[in-house]
Amino acid sequence: MICAKCVLPESKPDIWLDENGVCNICIETEKRNKARKDKGTSKKLLETDLVKLLNKYKGKKQYDCLVMCSGGKDSTASLYYMKERYKLNPLVFTFDLGFETGCAMENINNAVDILGVDFLYFKTNYMKEMFAKIIQSGSKAILCHVCSIWYMKITFDIAARYDIPIIVAGWTKGQTVEPDVQTRYDDLAMEYVSMSKATKEFLENHVKTDPKYKDFPQNMQELIKNARKRHKTVQVSPHWFLPATAEEYTALIQEKLKWQFPKESYPAKSTNCSLNFLSVYLSMKHFGYTHYHVEMSKLIRSGQMTREEALRDLELSFDKETIDELYSQLGCKPE
How many Å apart are CA 199 and CA 132, to the nearest integer?
Answer: 14
At 90 the pLDDT is: 98
CA 57 to chain centre: 24
The predicted pLDDT at position 155 comes to: 96
Alpha carbon distance 242, 88 (integer Å): 17
Domain ranges of the chain: 1-43, 47-240, 265-329
CA distances from 32 to 2, 37, 38, 103, 298 (A): 22, 9, 10, 41, 14
User: Rg (Cα) of the chain, in Å, rounded?
Assistant: 20
323 touches 277 (CB < 8 A)? yes
pLDDT level of residue 180 (50, 70, 90 thresholds): very low
Q: Report the predicted TM-score, pTM, of the whole model to 2 decimal places.
A: 0.91
Quick one: CATH architecture of 47-240?
3-Layer(aba) Sandwich (3.40)
Q: What span, in angstroms and rounded, lies between the C-alpha atoms of 103 and 77? A: 16
Residue 42: its pLDDT value, please?
66
Dist. CA 135–CA 332, nearest whole Å = 8
In this predicted model, what pLDDT tens digit does every residue of 186-242 receive, in sequence order? 445 889 999 999 999 999 998 988 999 988 998 888 898 899 899 999 999 999 999
pLDDT in tens, 247-267: 999 999 999 999 999 988 899
Residue 183: pLDDT over 70: no
The answer to whether 128 and 98 are in contact (CB under 8 A) is: yes
Mean pLDDT of the region 106-129: 97
Query: Do the beta carbons of residue 61 and residue 164 sit within 8 Å?
Result: yes
